Amino acid sequence: MALRQIFGASALALGLSAAPVSATPGLTERVVSDPSSGIALYGFDPVAYFTEGRPVPGRRDIEAEWNGAAWRFASEANRAAFLSAPEAYAPRFGGYDPAGVSAGVAVAGHPLLFAIREDRLYLFRTGADRDAFRDARAAAAVWPKVEATLTD
């Protein structure tokens, strides 16, 4: 599948910093989440990345808990799709940047800096990391060690 990227959304317009770093855990550090609320993907709907090709804010009244984090969705249909196959929609490496994972560290990705490749969602800390991304094999090899350093 071709690398799809988003350039049009403005992090500032959505009240997000250019590259969030999770300094404190939300509900879990195994999934990148807003440190103040514990909401995964900073409230963006994980299914919409695939159906809309862009990040779409989820609604407060349509949530589900999975893998220790709260997830928000733009519609009931998206929540149902996610709950039927969460691993298919959740960001790979828990939303940590594959470049950081490849280097052996957990660096939180940003929900507006994403790519979908081989039917998986990846989040990146910087646009340069996203632009340099070619495949996830190096990160996948290191991920178990990085994941073991994260808290439950």
Q: What is the pLDDT along the chain (152 residues), one digit of tens a residue?
A: 333 333 333 343 344 443 343 333 333 478 888 888 889 999 999 999 999 999 999 999 999 999 888 999 999 999 999 999 999 999 999 999 999 999 999 999 999 999 999 999 999 999 999 999 988 999 999 999 999 888 76
Cα 28 to Cα 12: distance, rounded to the nearest angstrom = 25
Tell me if 121 sits within 8 A of 130, measured CB to CB: no
The structure tokens 């403005």 sit at 10
- Model's pTM, two decimal places? 0.81
Q: Can you tell me which residue has the tokens 């290191």?
A: 142
Neighbours of 11 (CB within 10 A): 16
Element (H, E) at 51: helix 48-51
Domain spans of the chain?
25-148
Contacts of 121 (CB under 8 A, 6+ apart): 46, 49, 50, 89, 90, 91, 92, 114, 115
